[in-house]
Amino acid sequence: MLSVKFDGKDFTLQELAKISRKPKLIVLNVSTFPQAIPDILKSLTKNQMKLNPQQDGTTIYVPIPKVTKEQREILSKNAKSFYVKCCDNVRQVRNKQIKAVKQKEKLAKDLVFRIESYIDILSHQYTNKAEQMLETKQKELLGDSE
């Protein structure tokens, strides 16, 4: 999702323009918010996708560049870094919740143990799901050659 700063607020591109896709081209009809065109153009040119939007009245044409192997490898590395951040966040939440359970003095030890086990199971489920998403995305980006 591409966010556009307009009138001091953040909007998604879908909120400001009608988007239609053609082969190798995205057409943005901004006739409902023509005053947002400069902000939309700025957002499109300053993102990491290296887009080159062209304006014709209240319509913006965005040619979609072909993704090179280098760009796919960079995207794959970015996906890996998001996976690592996700695992770190899950670990932090897990540790915080286990610490909170251990600080409860009125809970029985066996109940604390069961709660810790449940928290561990949940954290493993989320990290496994994140790993599956990473593997799927990397196969999609790099192909099955690896």
Q: Do 74 and 52 belong to one domain?
A: no
Residue 133's nearest CA partner among 71, 69, 90, 70 is: 90
In 11-143, which residue ranges form alpha helices assigned H by DSSP?
A: 13-16, 37-45, 69-103, 109-142
- Domain closes at, from 40, 63, 86: 63
Output the pLDDT for position 96. Answer: 96
Q: Do 76 and 29 belong to one domain?
A: no
pTM as predicted: 0.62
Q: Do 23 and 57 belong to one domain?
A: yes
Cβ distance 33 to 9 under 8 Å?
no
145: pLDDT strictly greater than 60: no
What are the tens digits of pLDDT across the range 65-86? 887 888 888 889 999 999 999 9
Q: Do 73 and 123 belong to one domain?
A: yes
Host domain of residue 57: 3-63
20: pLDDT strictly greater than 50: yes
- The more confidently predicted of residues 44 and 122 is 122
52: pLDDT strictly greater than 90: no
Bridge partners, residue 88, by sequence: none
Q: How far is CA 70 from the centre of its chain?
A: 20
Report percent pLDDT > 70 for the chain: 97
**What's the rounded Cα separation, in Å, for the pair 24 and 47?**
18
**Unique residue bearing structure tokens 């005053």:** 35
